[in-house]
Structure 1
Amino acid sequence: MEKIKIAQIGVCHEHASGKITALRRLPELFEIVGVVDDNATSTTPKFSGKNLQPYEGLKWMTEEEVLNYPGLQAVAVEVPNNELVPTALRCMEHNLAMHMDKPAGEDLALYRKLLDGCRERNLPFQMGFMFRGNPAFQFCIAAIREKLIGEVFEIEADMNHNYGGDEYQEYIGKFRGGIMYNLGCHLIDFVAAAMGRPEKVTPFLKSAPGCPETIRNSCMAVLEYPHASVTLRSSSRAPGCQRRMRIAGSKGVIEFSPLERFDGRPVELSLSLGENSGSFPAGEHTLRFLPQTDRYVEQFKELAKVIRGEAQSTYSYDHDYLVHEITLAAAGYTQWR
C-alpha cells in the first residue's frame, strides 16, 4: 500500500521530538513531507524547541504550505500546549487526520468544537497520551474492566520528576493549573479508560517548598467513584523518584514502578491475589512486559490503520472529551459537575 503522507506542525511541544522520532521509525507506513518550525511564531508558554537535531534531513515548511500540500493525509500537531487546539482546528478545516499532543488547552468549549468537527467529518483524531502504547497500562485497564482484582476501591499513581531545573518551574508557573494540567492528564487518560466518569473531582494545587505560591508544581487530585477513590499526584521537585502505580481491589492488588523504561529491560508488575482469579491462582505473581523502544510507535501504527480504514480508534471522541473535562477540574480550571 502507498505510504501515508504526514507532516508535523510544531517543534516546541515537550514531546515533539519524540513524535518525529517515532514517525521516522515507521518508514514503511509514513512519508514525512515536512516539518513546521514554530519557534518564531509561538506566543504561549513553551519549554522545548531549541534542539532541531531530530529533524535533520527533513524539509522545513510553513504551516500554510503544510495545510495546502497536495495529497497530504495527516498531521502531528506538536505546538505548545495552549496552541494545540487552535492549530488542530485549522487542520480539521482542511480535512486532515490528526495526532494531537496534550493537554487540550484551557478552553473546554473550544476543544469540544474540535472534537465535534472531527466527528462530523469522520476524521481520525488521536491524542498523544504517553501511556497508551504501554503494555503494563493496557494490562491494568483490562484487569480493572474484567475485575481480575475484584471491585477496585483505590488507585494511587504519580507523575513525579525532578528534571528541568528552575527553568521548568518558571514554565509550569505560567499555567494556572500547574503541573497537574501539564502532566496529570496522562494518568487521567488511563483512569477514565479503566473507571469511566467520576462522581467528583477535587484539586489540591500546591507549590513545592522554596518555590513561589504562583508555581503550582506539587499537585494532587482526588477522583471519587461510588466505591473507589483515585489519588493522582504530580511534582517537579521529587529527586530520585520512580513514578509508580498501585491499584487495590476486593480480590487483590497491582503495583509497579517505574511505569515505563527504555533501557532494554522489562517493566515488572506485581500482582497479589487473595483468591484464584482469571487465569491466575491465588498468591504473588511478577509479570514482565516486553521492553519498549519508543513511547509512540504503537500509537502511530494504530493511526495508520484507522486512516486506511483497517481499524477503529481504541479511544473515542467522547473518551477524549471526558479526559479533558476531568483534567481541567483536576487542575482547578473548572468545578466538577
Structure 2
Amino acid sequence: MSTQESHKKAQVRAAIIGYGLAGSVFHAPLVDATPGMEVAAIVTSNTERQQSARKRYPEARILGTVEELWQDAQNYDLAIVATSNDTHVSLGIAAMQAGLPVVVDKPMAATVADAEQLLAASQETGKLLTIFQNRRWDNDFLTVQKILGARLLGPLTRFESRFERYRPAPKQGAWRESADPKLAGGQLYDLGSHLIDQALYLFGKPERVYAEMAQRRPGAQVDDDSFVALHFPSGISAHLWMSQVARISGQRMRISGLRGTYEKWGLDPQEDALRAGKQPGQPGWGTELRELWGHISTDITEGGIHLDGPIETEPGAYENFYAQVRDAITRGTKVPVDPRSVIEVIRVIEAAQTSARENRTITL
C-alpha cells in the first residue's frame, strides 16, 4: 500500500508540534510508518523546517503557530508535543483542553509538580496522555526482558546501563545546554531519563538514590558527565552512566544474577536509521548483524542447551509505540507509556539532583 493510500484510510490524524530533532527524526517518520495513522499537520515557525516538512510530507498542513492548530482541532485526532522541555506542560494542557489526545516527548516535564499538572489535565478533560519513552523498544532492552522472562540469570544482583557519547564542546545556543531549570537541560534529564525509565520499568520503584553530576567541558552550564545508583527493595542495584565526554564508550548494558550474566556493547541501530531517512517496515529494520549480538553466560540450560556465548538480539521496535497509541485512541486499549510511571522517573531525577548537590544518599 502506498503512503497516499494509507493516508486515505488513516484513523488517526496526527498534528506534530515542533519539527526539530524530535519531530523530524523520530515522531513524524514513526507516525508516517504506522498503518492507520498519518502526519496530518506539522507546526513550526522556522521557515527552513517548514520547507523541509512540505518536501517530505506534501499532504500535511504546515502551520506557523499552535493557535492555528487549536482553532482547527476538530480536524485532528492526536497532538504530539515535540518541542523544547519548557513548553511540554503548557502545550500538552492546551492540546487536551482543545479536545485532543496527547503524546509528550520525554522527559515529560522538568519537575514532578509540573508533570502532575499534565496528568491532572488529562484526568479533568478525559483525554489520553502518554509519554514518548522510545528506549523501552530498544533492541538490547527487549533482549534483556526476554532473558529475564526466561529466568536465565537466576536471582538478579546488578543492572548496569550506559549512554556515553563524545562531544568535546557544548553546542552554543542549544536549549539542552542551558542552565535554565525550566528547560531541563543536561545529561541527567536527556539520556538519564531513558536509563532511569528502563531501570524502573524492570525493577519497580527504588528505595535509595545516589548520584554524581559534573560539568567537565569548558563552558558547560549543565551536567555533561553523570552517574546514578539506584537500590531497589528486592536487593537489586542499578548503576547508570550518562556522558558527553567518553571518547570510548563502555558496555551499553550488563545484567548479572547469581547464575548468569548478559552483556551488550553498541547502541540500538534505530536512531541512526531514522536519521538516515529510513522507516520501520523496510528490510532489516531494527535488526543487527550477528557479530553485534550480546553475550550470555549462564549455568541454566534452555531447551537442553547450555548458553555460553552470543545470543541473538531482539529486533528493535520503536514503531510499536505509535501502534499502541493508535489502538488506545481507536479501541480504548492501554497507552504504551503510563504517564504515572514517568512521574516516578522525574521523582528519581529530582532525588539524584539533591544527592549530587548534598553529597549523600537520598531515601525515597
Which category of TM-score, normalised to the shorter sequence, fits these structures? 0.7 to 0.9
TM-score (ref. length: structure 1): 0.84
Alignment of 1:173-322 (within 5 A): 173-175=177-179, 178-208=186-216, 210-212=217-219, 214-226=221-233, 227-241=235-249, 244-262=252-270, 264=284, 265-266=287-288, 268-276=293-301, 279=303, 281-289=305-313, 291-292=315-316, 296-309=318-331, 311-322=333-344
Of all paired residues, the percent bearing the same amino acid is: 19
Cα 1:224–1:141, aligned 2, differ >3 Å: closer, same or farther?
A: same
- State how far apart, in whole Å, the 1-side matches of 2:124 and 2:255 are: 37
Corresponding residue number in structure 2 for 1:86 = 90
Number of residue pairs matched by the alignment? 324
Cα 1:142–1:89, aligned 2, differ >3 Å: closer, same or farther?
A: farther
Name which of structure 1's ranges 17-26 and 228-237 shifts more when overlaid on structure 2: 17-26
Cα 1:325–1:242, aligned 2, differ >3 Å: closer, same or farther?
A: same
Corresponding residue number in structure 2 for 1:63 = 66
Cα 1:13–1:221, aligned 2, differ >3 Å: closer, same or farther?
A: same
- State how far apart, in whole Å, the 2-side matches of 1:184 and 1:211 are: 21
Whether 1:114 and 2:124 are equivalent positions in the alignment is: no
- What per-residue deviation string (whole Å, max 9, x for no partner) do you get for residues 106-157 of structure 1? 2211211211332454433221123122243123235446643222211111
Unaligned runs of 5+ in 2: 1-8, 274-283
Alignment of 1:141-156 (within 5 A): 141-144=145-148, 147-156=151-160
Displacement of 1:214: 3.7
TM-score (ref. length: structure 2): 0.78
- State how far apart, in whole Å, the 1-side matches of 2:220 and 2:75 are: 49
Tell me how large the CA RMSD over aligned residues is. 3.0
Match of 2:269, SS state, is coil
Q: Would you say the 8 A contact 1:271–1:287 is kept in 2? A: yes
Cα 1:164–1:51, aligned 2, differ >3 Å: closer, same or farther?
A: farther
- State how far apart, in whole Å, the 2-side matches of 1:39 and 1:107 are: 28
Q: Which amino acid aligns with 1:325?
A: R
Displacement of 1:75: 1.1
The structure that is helix-richer by fraction is 2
- State how far apart, in whole Å, the 1-side matches of 2:262 and 2:23 are: 28
Whether 1:34 and 2:36 are equivalent positions in the alignment is: no
Cα 1:192–1:289, aligned 2, differ >3 Å: closer, same or farther?
A: same
Corresponding residue number in structure 1 for 2:281 = none
- What per-residue deviation string (whole Å, max 9, x for no partner) do you get for residues 174-227 of structure 1? 24662111111011111111000001112210122x524643101111111231
Q: Would you say the 8 A contact 1:305–1:311 is kept in 2? A: yes
Q: Which amino acid aligns with 2:341?
A: H
Whether 1:162 and 2:166 are equivalent positions in the alignment is: yes
Cα 1:93–1:169, aligned 2, differ >3 Å: closer, same or farther?
A: closer
Match of 1:132, SS state, is helix
Corresponding residue number in structure 2 for 1:44 = none
Corresponding residue number in structure 1 for 2:80 = 76
Corresponding residue number in structure 2 for 1:45 = none
- What per-residue deviation string (whole Å, max 9, x for no partner) do you get for residues 2-21 of structure 1? 52111001124545432112
- What per-residue deviation string (whole Å, max 9, x for no partner) do you get for residues 291-335 of structure 1? 55xx63221111111111163224323222212222332344996
- State how far apart, in whole Å, the 1-side matches of 2:93 and 2:249 are: 38
- State how far apart, in whole Å, the 2-side matches of 1:146 and 1:290 are: 14
- What per-residue deviation string (whole Å, max 9, x for no partner) do you get for residues 84-111 of structure 1? 1221111122232122111122221121
Corresponding residue number in structure 2 for 1:43 = none
Q: Would you say the 8 A contact 1:38–1:79 is kept in 2? A: no
User: Given the alignment, which residue of 352, 355, 361 partners 1:330?
Assistant: 352
- State how far apart, in whole Å, the 2-side matches of 1:140 and 1:169 are: 38
Displacement of 1:243: 6.0
Match of 1:159, SS state, is strand
